[in-house]
Chain A
Amino acid sequence: MSTILLIEQILNGLQFGVMLFLMAAGLTLIFGVMGLINLAHGALYMVGAFAAASMAAWTGSFTLALIAALVAAAMFGALIELTVIRRLYKRDHLDQVLATFALILVFSEATRWVFGSFPLFLDMPDALSGTVMLPGGIEYSKYRLTIIIIGLLVALGLFLLIARTRVGMRIRAGENDREMIGALGVDISILYTMVFALGAALAGLSGALVGAIQSVEVGMGEPVLILAFVVIVIGGIGSIKGALAGAILVGLTDTLGRTLLPVLFSTFMDASAATTIGSALASMLIYILMAGVLIFKPTGLFGSA
């Protein structure tokens, strides 16, 4: 394995991690502030991708497509918060899970009804297609590099929002003591809708960005949702910093595991058995990582006890 390949794989892992962060950030915010387990987060990711694909097909502009994804996901997020989610804050986690699972079914069927079962076409803009030569002779996809940059910018923005602004202060206060900030006269319901819409918009952005290099189809959100849950459990539920660390850890573990494990196994067994066993183990790796983290830090890396 050459150094160049290894660096390229680390970049791939980083890009995958950053995508997961966009999903996990919303999920962890919503859980941290409102104590809500939102399974419908994957549906909002799908909404983002479909909105982007439709807008791109209509106008041909990728920028407009991204804006459409953000707006549509935030809008649907706010809509379900106002109509369904709001009634769930005081309920048991199991009720929340059931209700948001129902939302997945509703969103999936509605999307199938509108767009059909066949995958939609969404392509990356010409300016970002192709590769760029990085220092050291590494040829890397421009689009993936852009995703890494966007993701890191969003992470920075979220950090500033939460650490430096009044809204962020309220979000942190909401995490610590919901009743008290209500008693201090902050309109908690508006805050909740805002946080939910923000989380939804991030999921939508992530769906649109990924949609350009993967397939835009009904049910695309659920596999990512599972990984996003793994990320927030590793990072510590409710912590943005934890979500970033967890996401990058999961991204790197998954990508490097897929590459390195078969190579590792082939040093002491024959090639085709090594491929089979290596790939099987690689697909379990992030769950092993999660179990490992939970043994030593039961509340996750940045979770508060």
Chain B
Amino acid sequence: MCPETQDRENTMFTTLRWSALGVATAAAMSLAGVAAADGHAKLKVGLITTLTGGGAGIGADIRDGFMLAMKQGGEGIEVVVEDDQRKPDIAVQLADKMIQSEKVDILTGIIWSNLALAVVPSTTAQGKFYLSPNAGPTQLAGRGCHENYFNVAWQNDNLHEAAGAHANTAGFKNAFILAPNYPAGQDALKGFKRMYEGELAGELYTKLGQTDYAAEIAQIRASGADGIFFFLPGGMGISFLKQYADSGIDLPVVGPAFSFDQGILQAVGDAALGVQNTSQWSKDIDNATNKAFVADFAAAYGRLPSLYASQSFDTANLIISAAAKADVKDQDAFRDALRAADFNSTRGDFKFGNNQHPIQDIYVREVIKEGDIFTNKIIGTGLTDHQDVYAADCKL
């Protein structure tokens, strides 16, 4: 090929990237589902989540948990669903479209902290509410907290702090820790180190969306560690666990629930059996709301819910409870109704701290096999009434 063609090729690749993006966005829009409840909608919610690519399983859980609650009690609430493809730029475009042309009152649904950081500040600045069913980046919990931003799941550090505390109990003295290199990954390692008292044999950041961990596993083998902590949600966790199980390294592993959620376990099989992980939710938390949620979710979608589904189910019920008390147009009243958190949570008691992030118990679970299904079982409580450390910096 002559140099001229090569040049043309390169320009073409640039053009291609943009046109591809345009096509992808157009496709995403046409796929967007609109679920309108009967009668006149008094409240409109925009749900932006990841429905294609590596995080699609998590996004499906977020959407399905949310829609289940809406089906059960969301009369008069309209939900618009869009796919962000795990790309911050697309998430921002969708948020703007939802606020400006769909005229939604509340946005929710984002899984990834880097996307949340791109969307949440502009949403609250435009006078809309944002309720996070998952991402809880540090930046939005402390000095950057906002009266219109609520996190119904956790602050990012929380589950990792519990994992750090559990690593002490499990007798880790020299742990190897790894997480993807994005805001939630950095929060994860920070959170783990806050509670963990032993030494570190190594600390690694991997690429977000990485699928091959041979290089990392070789480093773990050579590090002389006595235990491993890893935070790798979605497909990343599947790849790591399968490769780790095959590596012949036999060190104990702890992690947050994200590395061992219901979707991951089925794809990993025996490799995760017996692993201990920390979570604010589990399908065996003993309360009526949770039991009904697990049964209804399984009946509606033919699979067990994950913690992501429980979080978006809680988010939807919080919205429903607030909408019953106040009109969203009266922002102060609606905000107070949200703060009161007067709904039945799958986690039992639910309350917000001053920075509008939950104060909650975090459990330790173990991966077990029930019949043919791999799932988690609570074996103890890691941290009781736990609140994030950033709340003190929040002026609310």
Contacts and interface: CB of A to CB of B under 8 A. Distances in A.
B222 A2 contact: yes
Interface in A19-67: 39
Contacts of B27: 105
A213 B181 contact: no
B204 A262 contact: yes
A217 B235 contact: yes
Interface stretch (A78-86, A122-130, A152-160, A183-191): A122-130
A215 B303 contact: no
Interface residues of A, number: 66
B6 A141 contact: no
Interface in B1-33: 1-3, 6, 9, 12, 15-16, 19-20, 23-24, 27
Interface string A1-33: 110110011001101100000000000000000
A88 B225 CA distance: 55
Contacts of B264: 119
B266 interface: yes
B266 A118 contact: yes
Interface string A86-111: 00000001100110011001001000
A279 B266 CA distance: 30
Contact of A16 (B214, B238, B243): B214
B60 interface: yes
Given A121-B269, A215-B238, A299-B3, A15 B214 contact: yes
A279 B235 contact: no
B59 interface: yes
Nearest to A121: B267
Interface string B288-305: 000000000000000100
Contacts of A219: 52-54, 56
A280 B248 contact: no
Nearest to B190: A272
B389 interface: no
B218 A12 contact: yes
Interface string A174-215: 000000000000000000000000000000000000101111
B215 A9 contact: yes
Contacts of B20: 39, 97, 101
A262 to B, nearest CB: 7
A93 B6 contact: no
B247 interface: yes
Given A101-B19, A117-B56, 6 more contacts: A8-B218, A119-B238, A123-B242, A219-B56, A258-B206, A299-B3
A18 B247 CA distance: 19
B219 interface: yes
Contacts of A15: 214
B51 interface: yes
Contacts of B239: 213-215
Contacts of A165: none
A223 interface: yes
Nearest to A255: B215
Nearest to B57: A118
23 contacts: A1-B222, A8-B222, A15-B214, A16-B212, A39-B20, A94-B12, A117-B59, A119-B235, A121-B267, A124-B246, A129-B246, A131-B246, A141-B243, A212-B242, A213-B243, A215-B54, A215-B267, A217-B235, A237-B9, A258-B206, A258-B215, A258-B216, A279-B206
Interface string B226-254: 00000000010011001100111000000
Contacts of B186: 276
Interface of B: 1-3, 6, 9, 12, 15-16, 19-20, 23-24, 27, 51-54, 56-57, 59-60, 181, 186, 203-207, 209, 211-212, 214-216, 218-219, 221-222, 235, 238-239, 242-243, 246-248, 263-264, 266-269, 303
B154 to A, nearest CB: 23
Nearest to A143: B246
Contacts of A298: 3, 6
A38 to B, nearest CB: 12
Contacts of B12: 93-94, 97
Contacts of B209: 223
Q: Is the interface of B mostly helix, strand, loop or mixed?
A: helix
Contact of B204 (A130, A237, A279): A279
Contacts of B243: 141, 213-214
B242 A118 contact: no
A131 B218 contact: no
B281 to A, nearest CB: 19
A217 B56 contact: yes
A238 interface: yes
A238 B1 CA distance: 9
A57 B176 CA distance: 34
A167 interface: no
A213 B214 CA distance: 10
A237 B75 CA distance: 58
B16 A97 contact: yes
Nearest to A283: B207
A247 interface: no
Given A9-B215, A279-B205, A299-B6, A117 B51 contact: yes
A267 interface: no
Contacts of A112: 52, 56
Contacts of B2: 305
A305 B6 CA distance: 10
A238 B5 CA distance: 13
A241 interface: no
A197 B139 CA distance: 50
Contacts of A210: 211
Contact of B221 (A94, A105, A139): A139
A70 interface: no
B19 A94 contact: yes
Given A117-B57, A141-B246, A271 B203 contact: yes
A120 interface: yes
Contact of B23 (A98, A130, A213): A98
Contacts of B207: 279, 282-283
Interface string A127-151: 0011100000001010110000000
B214 A12 contact: yes
